[in-house]
């Protein structure tokens, strides 16, 4: 059974002075068994958020705490890269990382090839990685959304030795190192969401591409999240789809009320899916 994941992408918001208390508030108000919660603050807030989450009463009743993620990572281990942060530098600060976010593709010119290198660097450092993919509005309207996402996945993962990347053999209940976030670019920060059925169709297409790329297990182990203007009001539409395993939340993730609503619904989904599957939602996750 795949895990339900709610990942908060704080983007360029919060400061080291206020991030810790916000993280602790969100953590203590989202203690749902069976839901993996990840907060991805700016680099400079990673330590404050990690300290606050260790300190506070934020673990869910099944023992799952809130995990910390970075929003980006450099593809090289060290060197003359001013302003950059390598995967090794995140040791002790983050256990997750987002790569390929559309804002970085847009603002930093990140290509699929570069994002693929970041993925490998993250994997080598033992970070769980959320790879973002998604089409532009004109690509959706001209019926090319699935082809665009297929090309992004091939550009990032193609040519890689997927066995060496550890995409296989994750086992029941494990959280594999790779998670895909389907984020239609036109839905990010716009208040406009994809339809649940379209997101589910895309999740199916994503898993077909993973199979075509030679991923053992048919891509079924890899969680697929939806992202793009997710709120406590819109999350149900996506969690109602069995192929969608949670959400990557931007704007709403800075609001404790919104996060409480989103994770509460994710908790209900986790319980329902665990019931269907006959497994306990509270099994400890293992690194796949």
Active centre residues (catalytic): 101, 183
Instruction: Choose which of 27, 69, 227, 267 interacts with ligand PGA (CB under 6 A).
Output: 227
Instruction: Choose which of 53, 230, 259, 274 interacts with ligand PGA (CB under 6 A).
Output: 230
Q: Using CA atoms, how far apart are residues 112 and 158, in angstroms rounded to an integer?
A: 10
229 binds ligand PGA (CB under 6 A): yes
How far is the CA of 146 from the CAs of 139, 150, 200, 201, in angstroms? Answer: 9, 6, 12, 9
248 binds ligand PGA (CB under 6 A): yes
Instruction: Choose which of 251, 261, 267, 288 interacts with ligand PGA (CB under 6 A).
Output: 251
Minimum gap (Å) between residue 282 Cβ and ligand PGA? 28
Q: Using CA atoms, how far apart are residues 87 and 95, in angstroms rounded to an integer?
A: 10
Per-residue exposure over 187-221, b if at least 16 CB sit within 10 Å of its own CB, e if not: bbeeeebbebebbbbbbebbbebbeebebebebeb
Instruction: Choose which of 27, 50, 184, 228 interacts with ligand PGA (CB under 6 A).
Output: 228
Stretch that binds ligand PGA, among 223-231, 236-244, 254-262, 270-278 (CB under 6 A): 223-231
Task: Single out the residue of 230, 233, 255 nearest to residue 244, CA to CA.
Answer: 230
* Residue closer to ligand PGA (CB basis): 152 or 170: 152
Q: Using CA atoms, how far apart are residues 251 and 189, in angstroms rounded to an integer?
A: 7
How far is the CA of 241 from the CAs of 122, 148, 273, in angstroms? Answer: 29, 22, 11
Stretch that binds ligand PGA, among 78-86, 112-120, 214-222, 227-235 (CB under 6 A): 227-235
The residues in 134-193 that bind ligand PGA, with binding defined as CB under 6 A, are 183, 188-189
Quickly list H helices, 6-68. Answer: 16-28, 46-55
9 binds ligand PGA (CB under 6 A): yes
Footprint of ligand PGA (CB under 6 A): 9, 183, 188-189, 227-230, 248-252
């Amino acid at each position: 059974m795949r895990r339900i994941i709610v990942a908060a992408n704080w983007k360029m918001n919060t400061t080291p002075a206020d991030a810790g208390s916000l993280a602790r508030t969100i953590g203590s108000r989202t203690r749902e068994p069976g839901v993996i919660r990840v907060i991805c603050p700016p680099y400079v807030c990673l330590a404050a958020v990690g300290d606050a989450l260790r300190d506070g009463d934020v673990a869910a009743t099944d023992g799952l705490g809130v995990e910390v993620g970075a929003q980006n990572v450099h593809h090289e281990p060290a060197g003359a890269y001013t302003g950059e942060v390598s995967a090794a530098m995140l040791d002790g600060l983050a256990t997750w990382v987002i790569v390929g976010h559309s804002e970085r593709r847009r603002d930093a010119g990140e290509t699929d090839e570069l994002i693929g290198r970041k993925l490998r660097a993250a994997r080598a450092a033992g970070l769980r990685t959320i790879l973002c993919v998604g089409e532009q509005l004109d690509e959706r309207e001209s019926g090319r959304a699935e082809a665009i996402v297929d090309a992004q996945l091939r550009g990032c993962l193609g040519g890689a030795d997927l066995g060496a990347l550890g995409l296989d053999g994750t086992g029941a209940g494990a959280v594999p190192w790779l998670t895909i976030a389907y984020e239609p670019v036109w839905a990010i920060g716009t208040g406009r969401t994809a339809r649940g059925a379209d997101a589910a169709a895309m999740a199916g297409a994503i898993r077909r591409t993973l199979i075509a790329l030679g991923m053992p297990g048919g891509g079924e182990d890899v969680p697929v999240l939806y992202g793009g203007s997710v709120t406590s009001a819109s999350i149900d539409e996506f969690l109602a789809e069995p192929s969608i395993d949670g959400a990557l939340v931007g704007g709403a993730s800075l609001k404790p009320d919104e996060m409480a609503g989103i994770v509460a619904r994710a908790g209900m989904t986790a319980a329902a899916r665990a019931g269907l599957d006959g497994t306990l939602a509270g099994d400890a996750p293992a690194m796949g």
